Amino acid sequence: MAYSYDDNNIFAKILRKEIPSDIVAENDHALAFRDISPKAPTHVLVIPKGKYVSFDDFAANAPADEITAFMRLCAQVAKSEGVSLDIGNGFRAITNAGNDGVQEVPHFHLHILGGRMMGPMLLLPE
Ligand code: AMP
């Protein structure tokens, strides 16, 4: 099994409302909430409501309506946070996948970071 989903991951618990989250926006297929340890003035996580481990799992296996709803919620959040390019100064969208990507939570999520200059794209360990 290439993508083995863990029903006990923390974002699955957030989706089941077993633990609280600071929800920013929601649609039929995706949820956006504030990162508990923000790295920028805007740090919102957007997750699909379906069980996808990582970006590649979601991109390969989610139906088109779920992908569209996810992407539209990302755009909605960027705008409501005031960082989208039509009204704001820009943002960075990051997704980490697997061990080498240093993914901590095994439910696909996109980080939307903004409200300050993000600096270099990557700082790699020695
Ligand atoms: P990643 O390393 O890409 O898997 O990022 C996981 C992110 O989830 C980190 O930025 C954490 O701060 C964030 N996080 C972990 N637990 C929670 C939680 N209960 N509510 C909101 N964000 C969380």
- Tens of each residue's pLDDT in the chain, 126 residues: 568 999 999 999 999 999 999 999 999 999 999 999 999 999 999 999 999 999 999 999 999 999 999 999 999 999 999 999 999 999 999 999 999 999 999 999 999 999 999 999 998 988
Instruction: Return the ligand 1 atom nearest residue 19 CA.
Output: 19
Q: How many domains does the chain have?
A: 1
Q: What is the pTM of this model?
A: 0.97
Active site residue 109: yes
For residue 122, tell me if it sits in a domain. no
For residue 60, tell me if it sits in a domain. yes
Domain that holds residue 64: 10-114
d(CA 33, CA 44): 6
Contact between 99 and 66 under an 8 Å Cβ cutoff? The reply is no
Tokens coding 65: 């309506």
For residue 124, tell me if it sits in a domain. no
Q: What is the CATH number of the domain that holds 20?
A: 3.30.428.10
For residue 3, tell me if it sits in a domain. no
Question: Taking Cα atoms as reference points, which of 17, 16, 5 lies closest to residue 105?
Answer: 5
Q: Which residues line ligand 1 (CB under 6 A)?
A: 10, 21, 35-37, 45, 96, 102-105
